[in-house]
A and B are shown apart, each in its own frame.
Chain A
């Protein structure tokens, strides 16, 4: 995703001289081309995220489209009040880009686990929260956030993720992409869990459960139209995210369902427990150990659906 972001950003910068990149002294090996080609639109603010974010707001209020860039929680939580007051309150045209969303830096320890970001950023007025599912979505998301006049948070995974989309996509902020059809259940994923969602859907298909997969690349605003169709047409909804189960995609979908459905919906969130991980490991290891491998998701979905079916059967008796 990181490579896709930078190639899209370079293209944007070439076409639009308002596009600026401000980094917090991170991005070795990836920021150099932008710095070389657009030296007057590049800035390394140093290891000072509060100032970096305030500067970005000041630049945006002077007519620029400013991408701030750092890793994990640094460009959002370290400077959360600057994000809230300086960027969001002023509706400043700042795009906050964090590489290492979720457990991409799993081995680096809990300080580098960005696992509450969607929940926190989603609660800020004006903020668009975007977590693309693969490099193809990342390209589209980069262009889309640049075109949107206002604050955006772009949560990226790491470098080298596989492409999930095989064909070109029409990326629209706030509009989920249907990855595969299904009538028995819907699995909604955000960010880099998309590949797992597709694997899980394949396994479920083998077990006779036709599962719709939605890539919910925009967590705010949430595509409630797609969720509504999913409930109406498939009856069971599951969310999948590399994020705490508190307040992220699953939380957002739960809020919507609780307020808009008078009949029970079969629903479960797949995500991380709201606790600091007491072990470290690679992203794949961490996902698997937290029950986010495709097989575990499949087991969880089947168990939930079977329970719901037996309850329905009991109710009929």
Chain B
């Protein structure tokens, strides 16, 4: 696929729509995790714009690629991209996280087309993705399984149980993307529980590893167009990202793991994103 084709421009637009919708949702809901949603917004845009073999009209097709959002707290961005891609009406986004809403504050599959797995407690996504990938291989199906992980959830032992399993079973239809924004719940990853040498850990567990700039759409696409990264191995994409990426005053701040933008902050954010409030 040619880089920066018209499709790529649409993908750029999709990334922006994700950020705008997500800010509106979190602002309306007075909820959290905007920074976590923004660090993976570009990755989601490429996945849902260019990579995933999925059909909003047939969200449960047997051959579909599976996307598991293991960092379920960043689900606002997932809901936004699913709505943009036509899995469900955009109006659903309006009561996200509110009384009686369908869309919960952590990824929820119940009654929400396109959400494969409910998550919210960390460290659950990769094991489930392993089960899906193993089944796909054993059944000779062509689908791929993508799991989006946070860096913080790489503290969880279950993530590494699954990492060891996938390497051992050579699940080359499995792709873990780690949104490595370097900030977890209470501080910098390197201060809380250092993951480094991070790429080497995945490599040592039997994965083919690619380190990329998680905000460079061309690099993301080139990486995800060439899977597996190493033949007969699962692929780990360590995506170096910036928490809160896209709105200057939110970037690289632990505060935006929690803070819900007030009206003034919304105005500034929308102006930076080039959108109406």
Residues of A within 8 A of B (CB): 40, 43, 45-46, 48, 50-51, 53-64, 81-82, 85-86, 89-90
Contacts and interface: CB of A to CB of B under 8 A. Distances in A.
Given A50-B127, A86-B128, A90-B118, A59 B135 contact: yes
B131 A57 contact: yes
B109 A90 contact: yes
14 contacts: A46-B161, A51-B162, A55-B128, A57-B128, A58-B128, A59-B132, A59-B135, A60-B131, A61-B132, A62-B131, A82-B127, A82-B158, A86-B124, A90-B117
Interface in B251-272: none
Given A48-B165, A81-B124, A90-B109, 4 more contacts: A50-B161, A62-B139, A85-B119, A86-B124
Nearest to A22: B131
Interface of B: 62, 109, 116-121, 123-124, 126-136, 138-139, 157-158, 161-162, 164-165
Given A55-B165, A59-B131, A50 B117 contact: no
Given A61-B131, A81-B121, A86-B128, A51 B109 contact: no
A40 B127 CA distance: 19
A317 to B, nearest CB: 59
B132 A86 contact: no
B83 to A, nearest CB: 22
Contacts of A90: 109, 117-118
Contacts of B120: 85
Query: Residue among A51, A56, A89 with the most chain B CB within 10 A?
Result: A51
A14 to B, nearest CB: 18
A83 B136 CA distance: 22
A103 to B, nearest CB: 29
Contacts of A57: 127-128, 131
A64 B132 CA distance: 10
A85 B128 CA distance: 11
Contacts, number: 85
Nearest to A41: B138
Nearest to B68: A58
A54 B132 contact: no
A55 B130 contact: yes
Contacts of A61: 116-117, 128, 131-132
A53 B126 CA distance: 12
B186 to A, nearest CB: 21
A254 B2 CA distance: 69
Nearest to B128: A58
Contacts of B136: 62
A314 to B, nearest CB: 55
A51 B135 contact: no
Contacts of A64: 135
Contacts of B132: 58-59, 61-62
3 A-B pairs with the lowest CB-CB distances in the bound complex, closest first: A58-B131, A54-B127, A51-B161
Contacts of B135: 58-59, 62-64
Query: Residue among B127, B128, B131, B157 with the most chain A CB within 10 A?
Result: B131
A126 to B, nearest CB: 12
Contacts of B165: 45-46, 48, 51, 55
Contacts of A46: 161, 164-165
A55 B118 contact: no
A63 to B, nearest CB: 8
Given A51-B165, A54-B162, A85 B131 contact: no
A22 to B, nearest CB: 9
A161 B158 CA distance: 36
Nearest to B138: A40
Contact of A59 (B119, B134, B158): B134
